[in-house]
Structure 1
């Protein structure tokens, strides 16, 4: 949901699979069959990792369906809903005010892009949210910032306008007019960063539907996802995100994940080895991190935690947890999970 990208190797950046729904919904609104594009988008489940080249190619196909339409990315981004952003979208929507929503976004941006990208700076009574430049192209930027501003405006009553928005790419006067009509504020082109500038006073604007209970629950889920993610890298992120998706279903295996990633089991094992990992190491690490997070939630029984982690029964989970911590899940929880991390 951020701007023009980051100064990182493209292979380390991606988008979450939920983001592809933004494009699918646009196709539906436009009444476009687009079988090739729809098939490409359908490959990704909401929790999947979508490599950046795949997302750029999908945007290029969308542009080819509406040749000559200026600022098409803004039209696509305007259809954004919380479901397109995954847990990050619901966390933002459940926040108390815009200031808290911004802190949530900064804390969990990595769940969406695989890296923490946004930079915040204060200029007197104004705050600047900026994303370093990368060669993602104008349409990528249009969709991202169009979605960001649209999404936030829908979360408050009588939504305020940004003070100014900046883009890295250039635009002629006609395109500038379209951008300014969409954002209802001055738009600068040819900047060093993609930026959204707002008054500090906006931070106190209450959200339309704050839900502290839901926010706390989603915070726990998002934190578990973050803790389970390895350092940025498309391959191991892809493997762990698939694990997060299939663990509650049970029957998780290296063979199953290799098949889901369209590669052989030997190739998957070799690539894990290149990362200094074995399949069992990755599975144990993911399960342990998630177990510690889930056990902090008193609403979840140990049996439910075991099921969420894909164990056949509670005793199998207890045996594994004792191997990781030299403690049973019940004892670890009773002593206070917070102090046992």
Structure 2
């Protein structure tokens, strides 16, 4: 079984800033995606939330093709996350693409496979840990970014040989003008085909010294990322993301982990815990985190961790901390203001 720790997706720091440059307000995206407004400040989201954010952006921008090109070109290189920054400072286009495919594992939910055949370089995109395919705009952004990477790195107007999409992608003529090649829809794969000769082009942005720093750090990060995380950790993480919708049950959590409820229960027992204990821990930890934010009132905190009424939350919190949520918050905020 693949580890579902990969379902944790880190939002690029420059994403919301890029939307602002296009005149798209972050809170409008959150509302359109039917997500809490606090999602804008969340560095980590689930695959479902990630897809919802991209679909909301597509809906607000109006035309998928226009949204793809605008965001791919407006995103500032300086705001690339480290795995992407390493590709921008690669030796040449080929090195950049290989690094992208390798380090993309640190930024799911999509994965890239690259193969060189004859005069072609074929890049195929697939989804990780997602029962449904991601929104077309995310596919388009991913493939457009690979071309944009070549253009920014080499300083040349790199074009594709062909681009194939599994689903409708907006104004095809707009995309053909951007990629510089024919666009095919209803394909069997989301695929970008480049001219192999372009892969030999050196990057003007190549920085050997920076690569010597980034590469070992990213390789270590990737190794740690790919190790199996404990079931306990994954279950608590899923619970924390599901508390607002009510009390998560073992069947729904097991389904997200691609296993039966019985198997999940057995594996939790092997780690000397239980679903009920983890739910209590998740609520307790989230309660402390929310109470540390003075902008949230107590009633809202109770709702955010799955309690229908404030009194039930008060009783639970007294068991956890031996004090009321209000007293705990006052003491916590008083302590942090002195530090």
**Normalising by the residue count of structure 1, what TM-score does the alignment of the two structures yield?**
0.59
Measured at CA, do residues 58 and 144 of structure 1 come closer, stay the same or move farther in structure 2, by a change above 3 Å? Answer: same
Q: Does 1:62 align with 2:57?
A: yes
Tell me, in whole angstroms, the C-alpha distance in 2 between the residues paired with 1:10 and 1:139.
Answer: 26
Question: 1:35: how far off?
Answer: 2.4
Query: Aligned residue for 1:19?
Result: 12
Q: How does 1:126-137 map to 2 (within 5 A)?
A: 126-132=120-126, 135-137=133-135
Q: Does 1:119 align with 2:113?
A: yes
Contact 1:77 1:146 in 2 (8 A): yes
Structure 2 SS opposite 1:191: coil
Q: Does 1:74 align with 2:69?
A: yes
Question: 1:98: how far off?
Answer: 0.9
Pick aligned residue for 1:52 from 22, 25, 47:
47
Q: Does 1:182 align with 2:175?
A: no
Pick aligned residue for 1:274 from 251, 264, 268:
268
Aligned residues: 246
Measured at CA, do residues 160 and 76 of structure 1 come closer, stay the same or move farther in structure 2, by a change above 3 Å? Answer: closer
**Normalising by the residue count of structure 2, what TM-score does the alignment of the two structures yield?**
0.60
Q: Does 1:90 align with 2:82?
A: no
Contact 2:9 2:50 in 1 (8 A): no
Question: 1:207: how far off?
Answer: 0.5
Contact 2:13 2:81 in 1 (8 A): no
Contact 1:13 1:234 in 2 (8 A): no
Pick aligned residue for 2:209 from 213, 222, 240:
213
Contact 2:64 2:137 in 1 (8 A): no
Measured at CA, do residues 118 and 33 of structure 1 come closer, stay the same or move farther in structure 2, by a change above 3 Å? Answer: closer
Contact 1:72 1:139 in 2 (8 A): yes
Q: How does 1:152-231 map to 2 (within 5 A)?
A: 152-170=150-168, 175-231=171-227
Question: 1:229: how far off?
Answer: 1.3
Measured at CA, do residues 233 and 71 of structure 1 come closer, stay the same or move farther in structure 2, by a change above 3 Å? Answer: farther
Query: Aligned residue for 2:27?
Result: 35
Tell me, in whole angstroms, the C-alpha distance in 2 between the residues paired with 1:68 and 1:209.
Answer: 32
Where structure 2 has 5 or more consecutive residues not aligned to the other structure, the ranges are 31-36, 251-263, 274-339
Structure 1 SS opposite 2:204: coil
Moved more, 98-107 or 29-38: 29-38
Where structure 1 has 5 or more consecutive residues not aligned to the other structure, the ranges are 1-7, 240-253, 280-341
